Amino acid sequence: AQKITQTQPGMFVQEKEAVTLDCTYDTSDQSYGLFWYKQPSSGEMIFLIYQGSYDEQNATEGRYSLNFQKARKSANLVISASQLGDSAMYFCAMRGGRDSKLIFGQGTTLQVKP
Amino acid sequence: EAGVAQSPRYKIIEKRQSVAFWCNPISGHATLYWYQQILGQGPKLLIQFQNNGVVDDSQLPKDRFSAERLKGVDSTLKIQPAKLEDSAVYLCASSFGQLNTEAFFGQGTRLTVV
């Protein structure tokens, strides 16, 4: 069975600083994908970044990077130079298995302080 | 490109009433997901369709929830009868289905059961 765990219910970061949001996962699949989504207070789900299980390089998208440690089954999101607009809930998700089921973690609420 | 469309945006019903939600995925997306998101929690997968077939409904409370995806395009999710604990946002998402493709989400339907 697949499982995603996000252990930080809430995080604070100072504007312009970097922050790391933790995500660990569990799966018996060899091939899987890891995703991060942002959900502002408006409720929309915004895709941020993707990492494939066979990708050797860590994924980066602008100020977002994914610290992928396959042996530790972790896929932490790093946001550099935090902005006030980054305040939102962040979800780690995994797709895998024969059916490509997409499951989500519990989320981390990030608040950026001015 | 049009996004995932959902309706209605908001719905208030009394317990024991029935309600239906509609979702129109992005054109060409074979995979369609319905999620239940309770306030402050991560999205919980209720059902996943591949074209018009169900590939996972293990967390769908089948005694009261039903879903269909006729002709592999639009989908409806129904609750009958509703309970107070069904109050949540119901999110529809679609994707091409491969492991490395992100899912796109609709705006969601906020259901309040009173």
A46-100 pLDDT tens trace:
999 999 999 989 999 999 999 999 999 999 999 999 999 999 999 999 998 777 8
What token pair was written down for A10? 């809430």
Is there a contact between A81 and A65 (Cβ–Cβ < 8 Å)?
no
Chain B residues with CB-CB distance to A96 below 8 A? 99
pLDDT score for A5: 97
B99/A47 Cβ within 8 A: no
**Residue B1: per-residue pLDDT:** 63
| Alpha-carbon distance A73 to nearest alpha carbon in chain B (angstroms) | 17
Pairing of strands A32-39, A46-52: antiparallel
Burial (CB count <10 Å: 0-12, 13-18, 19+), residue B30: middle
State the nearest Cα–Cα gap between B94 and chain A, in angstroms.
Answer: 11
- In angstroms, the CA A108 to CA B41 distance is 9
Instruction: Say how many Å lie between the first and final Cα of chain A, rounded.
Output: 41
Are B13 and B111 in contact by the 8 Å Cβ rule? The answer is yes
Pick the residue of B51, B99, B107 with the most A CBs within 10 A to test the interface with A by mutation: B99
**pLDDT tens digits for range B41-99:** 999 999 999 988 999 999 999 999 999 998 889 999 999 999 999 999 999 999 987 77
- Give contacts of A106 with chain B, Cβ < 8 Å: 41-42
pLDDT above 70 coverage of chain A, percent: 100
Q: Say which of A47, A95, A104 has its CB closest to residue B42.
A: A104
Cα torsion A43, B43, B40, B13: sign? positive
